[in-house]
Structure 1
Amino acid sequence: MALDKLIGLAMLAVASAVFTYYTIWVFVLPFVDESNILNSFFLPRDYAIKLPFLLLLIAGLGVGTFIGNVLIKKAEKEKLKKSKKSD
């Protein structure tokens, strides 16, 4: 199996596991008795909102940083082209 297919399969497995964990955490756990052993596998429920918000914030900062970096490099290239044209 090619490395890219293996990496894709691993990413799909991780995404599926996270989706299943979060779905059980948010939609099933509120109906389970608090003394049940299932509760020991999950974080407190208030993190169900805090963690996705934090991940979304980090992803937004990453995308903004990437776009800013691309725009700065593009401006530097155009500036270099203009300086070469004027010579």
Structure 2
Amino acid sequence: MSTLHVLSHSPFGDSRFTSCLRVLGEQDALLLCGDATYALQPGSSPFERLQAAGLNLFVLAEDLQARALDTPDWAEAINYAGFVELSIEHDKVNTWL
């Protein structure tokens, strides 16, 4: 059973980012949106953890653009239609509030 995990809060503010990475399963995917996209700042600890994790990583393109961040080669930028598609493809969606 696959789960789409959705993070929207900064990885620097609390433990949601770390907790999410800990529970990700092999068939799961992670979508970064809002301030969670700051995890893709090159050289940061969250960036290095995501890069090393080798997971199915997606990021909302407009949130990256709003924060002047680039999409790393190991992640896929999507739009809102892509978000809906990911939600349909996975058995569950877990939003980390």
How would you bin the TM-score normalised by the shorter chain?
under 0.3
Q: Which structure would you say has the larger Rg?
A: 1
Q: Which has the higher strand share?
A: 2
Q: Which has the higher helix share?
A: 1
